[in-house]
A and B are shown apart, each in its own frame.
With several copies, the nearest count.
Chain A
Amino acid sequence: MPVVRVQAEDFDVGRELEALTRGRHEVGAVASFVGLVRDANHGSRVSGMTLEHYPGMTERALEEICAQAHARWQLAETLVIHRVGPLVPGDRIVLVVVAGAHRGEAFEACEFIMDFLKTRAPFWKKEDTPEGGRWVDARSTDDTAAERWKNPQKP
């Protein structure tokens, strides 16, 4: 079952993993991803950033991405937590967790969710740099990463 949360607050990775798999003894593999705010981007120091999103659509888009992962692989649980609002370097931005019986599927599904989150979920980052506020440009490598899942085989 996909669980999706969009929130300003930080999250506790250990507690989230624990809650997702507690009592689920058919789960042998938990793959996760944590995205953090970096202190530099495109050669500029980044002292902080603000994450804007599209309330309503964000949750729907994330749920749909997780549902696609469940349709594509045999998974026990998926979890996505994404923060919004002001953040500073070192802050956690996003957590994606996929629990399943076997590791291959868990890894693939976790990467799949991240690739589509990066290209389909309505979030936008504005970085604080010495030159002022700057909207982050979408990266074509993210599009490429998402494209490869069109192939029904493992990319």
Chain B
Amino acid sequence: MVTLLYFAGLRESLGCSREQVSLPSATATVSSLVDHLRSRDGRWTEAFAPGKTWRVAVNQRMAELATPVKPGDEVAFFPPVTGG
């Protein structure tokens, strides 16, 4: 299982701030995890549709599509940041 967190506009569109999911495979990456999420239901399909802009952090560090994800990880999805 991994913990997924959603922030800001993405949290609002998905109506979800936190969930636990099983990894789609033993050798998962952000990319395969997103493919899995996209296949789940309309809101996820929409939020992660090609062309949508989002950022991802794995274990609280900025990550990329190729970043590995393993059981126990905390994976956060959010829009580009706008602090400061």
Find out whether A and B make contact in their complex, taking CB atoms under 8 A apart as touching.
yes
Interface residues of A (CB under 8 A from B): 35, 51-54, 56-57, 60-61, 82, 93-94, 103, 114, 117-126, 135-138
A138 CB, nearest partner CB in chain B, Å: 3
Going nearest first, the 10 A-B pairs with the smallest beta carbon separation are: A123-B83, A138-B80, A124-B8, A57-B60, A135-B9, A136-B82, A118-B84, A125-B82, A117-B84, A94-B84
Interface residues of B (CB under 8 A from A): 5, 7-9, 12, 57, 60-62, 76, 78-84
Q: Which of B12, B60, B78 contacts A56 (CB 8 A)?
A: B60
Chain A residues within 8 Å of B78, by CB = 54, 122, 124
| Contact between B7 and A122, CB atoms less than 8 A apart | yes
| Contact between B84 and A120, CB atoms less than 8 A apart | no
Chain A residues within 8 Å of B81, by CB = 118-124, 138
Tell me the bound Cα distance from A132 to B79 in angstroms. Answer: 19
A69 CB, nearest partner CB in chain B, Å: 15
Tell me the bound Cα distance from A120 to B76 in angstroms. Answer: 14
Complex A-B: 20 CB contacts under 8 Å: A54-B60, A54-B76, A57-B76, A61-B60, A82-B83, A82-B84, A94-B83, A114-B84, A118-B83, A122-B7, A123-B81, A123-B82, A124-B78, A124-B79, A124-B81, A124-B83, A125-B82, A135-B82, A137-B82, A138-B81
Chain B residues within 8 Å of A54, by CB = 5, 7, 57, 60, 76, 78
A87 CB, nearest partner CB in chain B, Å: 12
Tell me the bound Cα distance from A61 to B84 in angstroms. Answer: 13
Chain B residues within 8 Å of A114, by CB = 84
Chain B residues within 8 Å of A126, by CB = 8
A117 CB, nearest partner CB in chain B, Å: 5
Chain A residues within 8 Å of B79, by CB = 124, 135, 138
Chain A residues within 8 Å of B8, by CB = 52, 124, 126, 135
A147 CB, nearest partner CB in chain B, Å: 14
Tell me the bound Cα distance from A108 to B7 in angstroms. Answer: 31
Tell me the bound Cα distance from A117 to B81 in angstroms. Answer: 9
B63 CB, nearest partner CB in chain A, Å: 11
A23 CB, nearest partner CB in chain B, Å: 22
Tell me the bound Cα distance from A138 to B9 in angstroms. Answer: 12
